[in-house]
Structure 1
Amino acid sequence: MDMFSEKISPGKNLLVGFQHVLAMCPGTIAVPLIMGGAMGLDARTTAFLVSANLFTSGIAILIQVFGLSKYIGSRYPIILGSSFAPLAPMIMIGNTYGLPTLFGAIMVSGVLIFLLSFFLDKILMLFPPVVVGTFVTLIGVSLAPTAIQDLAGGVGSSTYGSVQNLLLGFGVLIFIILVEKFGKGIWRAMSLLLGIIGGTVVGAFLGMVDITPIQEASAFRLVTPFYFGTPQFEAGSILIMTIFCIINMIQCIGVFSVLDEIAGTHTDNATKIKGIKAQAVSQVITGAFNSVPSTMFNENVSLIDLTKIKSRSVIATAGVMMLLLGIFPKVSAVITVVPKAVLGGATLALFGVITSSGISILSKLNFFENNNFTIVGTSIAIGVGATFASDIFAGLPSTLSMICSNGLFMVSASAILLNLLLNGSKGLKR
C-alpha cells in the first residue's frame, strides 16, 4: 500500500474533501468571470462558463487521481482547477475570433502538450533543484498580493481596506494558525474549513454576506459539449495557446516538487510524465466541454500540509463534489457568498506554505557552489519585476508582451538560462 492510500472515515473524507473544494473554488470561478467581463458576455453565458469550469475541473481531478491507463495519471493526491496562465491570450482569442476558435485552440494545444510529454524526460533535465526551488518560491510570492487584496475586501470594493475587513481577514488567518498549532485529530484537519465557516458566520452578523447569488442561480444545469458550436481552428491561436500551456506545464512540475517537500516523497520522472499526460488529456476534454485549461493547484498541496491527510480518496471526493457543483449551480453559489476578507485570510495561510516549500527546496542547496546565489537572486528579481511591473513590456509585439509579462515564465526562463550559462552540462538534473 502506498502512502496515498490512507484509509479514513467517510465523514472525515467528506469534510476534508470539502475543504479542498473551498480552497480551489475561488480561483476556478474567477477565470470564467474575468473572461465573461472582458469579452462582454451576458450573465447567462458567463454562468454557463462557470458551471463548465467546475464540471471539467472534477473530470480533470478524477483522471489525475485514478488514471486512464498505466501511462496516464500520476495517481497522486493533486487538485486541478482553472489556470490563470493563459487568461490574457484566451481573452484575446475570444474577442478576435470567437469562442469556438478559443475552445478549438484549447483542444489542439492539449493534443500538442500530450505529444510533448513523450520528450518530457529530456525536458526535466533542465529543472534541477535550483530552478524548481526558485520557481516555487516565486509562485508563493506572486500569489500573496491576491490573498492580501482579498483580505482587505477585494480590489474595487467600496469597503476595500476597511478596519472591518482587516479584522475579519486577519482574525480568520490567526484562527487557522491556532487550530493548526493546538488542534488535535479531526479538528486540526478541518482548520481551514472551520476558519471559513466561522469567518462567514461573523461576516453574516456584520452584514457582509449577500445571498442574492444563491437566489438567482439555476437549480440544475447540464453541461453539454460544443455548447457554442463546432470548434474552429486558427493556427496563430493554437500557437499562442500552446506556448502558455507549456508555462502551465512548468508550474505542474513545480507542484510535484512541493508535494515531495510536504509529503516526504520522491516523485520520479515517469510519474511526472504520467501526470502531464493526464493534464493534457483533461485539456482536450475541457475544450470540448467549453472550459479552459486546468492546472495543478499549489494551494491544495499546501492544504495537505495543514491537514496532514495525504489520502487520494479525499481528493477523489473533492473531484466528485466539483462535478456536482457544475450541474447544480445553486449549490455552488453558496461558496460565492463567502466574504472576500474570509477567503483572503484563509488563502494567505495556504500561499505561505507554498513560499516555505520553495525556500525549503532552496535551503538544501550549497549557495557557495555552482553560482547558486546569482541564479536564485537574479531569477527571482526578474520574476518579481515582471509580475508587478508588467507594463514595461507593453512596447513589444502583443504575443511576446503577454509571454514576458508572465512572472512565472520569466523566473523559469531566467533560472534555466542562467543555470546553463553559468554551470553548463553539470547544471543539468541527472
Structure 2
Amino acid sequence: MSTNATTIPAVRPEDEKIPVAKAFLYGFQHILSMYGGVIAIPLIVGSAAKLPPEQVGMLVASALFVSGLATLVQSLGLPGLGSKLPLVNGTTFGAVSTMLAIIGSGGGLPVIYGSVIVAGIVGFLLAPLFSRIQRYFPPVVTGTIIAAMGLSLLPVAAGWVAGNQPGGASLTNLALAAFTLVVVLVCTRVPALSRVGILVGITAGTLLAAVLGQVDFSGVGKGAVVALPTPFFFGAPQFEIGAIISMVVVIIVTLMEIMADLFAVAKVVGTDVDRRRITRGLRADMAATIIAPVFNSFPPTAFAQNVGLIAVTKVKSRYTVAAGAVLLILLGLFPLLGRVVACVPSPVLGGAGVVLFGSVAAAGIQTLQQADFERGNNIFVVATSLALVVFPMAVPGIYTALPTWLEMVLGSGISAAAISAVLLNLLLNGRHANRGALGDEMEAVPAPEPFED
C-alpha cells in the first residue's frame, strides 16, 4: 500500500468550506482574471463571420453562460463528471485557428458547431484512455508543462498592456499596468488584503484609469438588460468531414492541455488526483464541449490563469470557483453586468496578469525541483520542450509551411511542450519514464476512502 494513502488528510484542501460572501468575493477575482480570455474568442470569430454587433454580443453572452455551466460541473461535479477541483472553464484559444479556417473556406457557424459536437463526443470517449497515461508524467514532464503554460500566457498579459495594438504600449498603458502590479504586490504584504490582492489591484487600476479618462462607460446602458440563450440561434449544426477532422485534432490537443491543468491545480492546491478523477475532469469538459454549440458557444477548457490566482491568494476551496461559476452564468444572462466588467481597461488586466501568469510558470519551476537533474537527460527534456514554447511566440508564422493540422499542434506552445516532454522523457530516460507525478504505485492503489466520490 502506498504511504500516500495513510498520510492524506480526511478533508482535502479543495473541500474547505468558505462563507458565502467570501466565496463570491474570491470567485469574482477568478472571473476578472479570465473574463478577457472568455470574451476574446466570440469577438474574434464573430468579426471573422461578419456578424452584426448584436449577434456578436449574443456570442459573448453565450460564451459566458456556457463557461459558467462548465465551471459549475467541473468544481461541484455530477454523476461521472467533474474533477471537483477549483478549475475555471472558458472558451479555448486552441480552436480559434480551426474555426477561422472553417469560416475562410466558406463554412459558417453551423459548420463550426457541427464539428465541435462530433469532436466533443470523440473526446468524451477518449477520456479514459488519456487518464491511463498519467504514469508518463513524472516531475520533469509535469514541471515542464506547467512552466510552459505560464510562459505561453505571459504574451497575453503583454498584449493587454499594449492594448492589443501594434506599435507597443503607450506611456499611459505602461503606467496603469505598473500601478496595478504594484498594488497587487503591496497587498501580498498586508494580511487583511493578501487573499483579495488581485481584486484590489484591478479595482484600484480601473479607478486610476477612470481619473485619467481611460475608461469608457458609454456602452454600459446600451443593449438588452436580460438575454436568455436561444438554442441553435444560428441554425441547426452542419456536419462536414474536413471540419470535423480538424476539430478532432483540436480536441485531442485540448485533452492534453486539460490534463496539464489538472496536474497544475492539484500541485498548487496540494492534493492528489487518481485515474478516475482525471477521467471525470476530462469528461466534464468534453460534455460541456458537446453542449456548447446548443447555446451558440465554442469548446470550453480549463483556464490556466486561474491556477496562478490560487497560487497567489492561497484560497484553494473549489466552492470559490463554484461561486465564480454562478457569476459567469449571471453575466451570460445579464449582458448589462458583462458590459460593466468589460469596462476594466486591458492594461489593468495586463498588470494583474504579470503576477497571475508568472505564478503558473513559477509553480512549474517548483515542480522541476523534484526532478533528478544529476542525469543530463532531464536537462535536454526541459530545454527542448521550453524552446518549442518560445518559437511560435517569437515568430508567429514559423510553422506556416507545415500541414495545417501540424501547424496548429506546434503553434500551441502548451501542446508542443507537452508532446515534446512526454516523448523525450520516454526516449531519453527509458524505463525511468514510468515514475508518474501521482506516485509510483498509483496504478495499483485505489483512491483512499476520503476521496471517494
Query: Shorter-normalised TM-score: what interval?
Result: over 0.9
The alpha-carbon distance between structure 1 residues 154 and 226, as it changes in their structure 2 partners (threshold 3 A), is same
Separation of aligned partners in 1, 2:249 and 2:171: 43
Task: Describe how 1:3-402 pairs up with structure 2 within 5 A.
Answer: 3-69=13-79, 71-96=80-105, 97-156=107-166, 160-180=168-188, 182-185=189-192, 187-369=193-375, 371-402=377-408
Deviation string 1:348-371 (CA, Å, 9 cap, x unpaired) is: 110010000111111111112271
Q: CA deviation at 1:92?
A: 1.3
The alpha-carbon distance between structure 1 residues 15 and 400, as it changes in their structure 2 partners (threshold 3 A), is same
Q: CA deviation at 1:209?
A: 0.4
Structure 1 contact 213–336 (Cα < 8 Å) conserved? no
Aligned residue type for 2:330: L
Aligned residue type for 1:127: F
Structure 2 contact 153–305 (Cα < 8 Å) conserved? no
Q: Secondary structure at the match of 1:258?
A: helix
Structure 2 contact 229–295 (Cα < 8 Å) conserved? yes
Q: What is residue 451 of structure 2 aligned with on the other side?
A: none
Structure 1 contact 53–292 (Cα < 8 Å) conserved? yes
Q: Secondary structure at the match of 2:221?
A: helix
Separation of aligned partners in 2, 1:289 and 1:95: 23
User: Is it true that 1:2 corresponds to 2:12 in the alignment?
Assistant: yes
Q: What is residue 417 of structure 2 aligned with on the other side?
A: 411
Separation of aligned partners in 1, 2:285 and 2:211: 42
Separation of aligned partners in 1, 2:51 and 2:145: 35
Q: What is residue 6 of structure 2 aligned with on the other side?
A: none
Aligned-pair identity in percent equals: 37
Separation of aligned partners in 1, 2:23 and 2:425: 43
Separation of aligned partners in 2, 1:119 and 1:403: 20
Q: Secondary structure at the match of 1:81?
A: strand
Structure 2 contact 310–316 (Cα < 8 Å) conserved? yes
Higher deviation after alignment, 73-82 or 118-127: 118-127
Separation of aligned partners in 2, 1:124 and 1:381: 23
Q: Secondary structure at the match of 1:236?
A: helix
Separation of aligned partners in 2, 1:64 and 1:322: 14
Q: CA deviation at 1:333?
A: 0.6
Higher deviation after alignment, 45-54 or 3-12: 3-12
Q: CA deviation at 1:291?
A: 0.7
Q: Secondary structure at the match of 2:94?
A: coil
Separation of aligned partners in 2, 1:241 and 1:74: 24
Separation of aligned partners in 2, 1:5 and 1:423: 37
Gaps of 5+ in 2: 1-10, 441-453
Aligned residue type for 1:105: S
Deviation string 1:113-140 (CA, Å, 9 cap, x unpaired) is: 1100121233333332222211111111
Aligned residue type for 1:260: A
Structure 2 contact 257–415 (Cα < 8 Å) conserved? no
Deviation string 1:320-358 (CA, Å, 9 cap, x unpaired) is: 111111011111011111111111001111001000011
Gaps of 5+ in 1: none
Structure 1 contact 151–170 (Cα < 8 Å) conserved? no
Separation of aligned partners in 1, 2:287 and 2:386: 32
Q: CA deviation at 1:156?
A: 4.3
Q: CA deviation at 1:151?
A: 1.9
Structure 2 contact 381–424 (Cα < 8 Å) conserved? yes
Q: Secondary structure at the match of 2:14?
A: coil
Structure 2 contact 132–275 (Cα < 8 Å) conserved? no
Q: Which runs of 4+ in 1 moved over 4 A?
A: none
Aligned residue type for 1:383: V
Aligned residue type for 1:398: T
Separation of aligned partners in 2, 1:204 and 1:381: 40
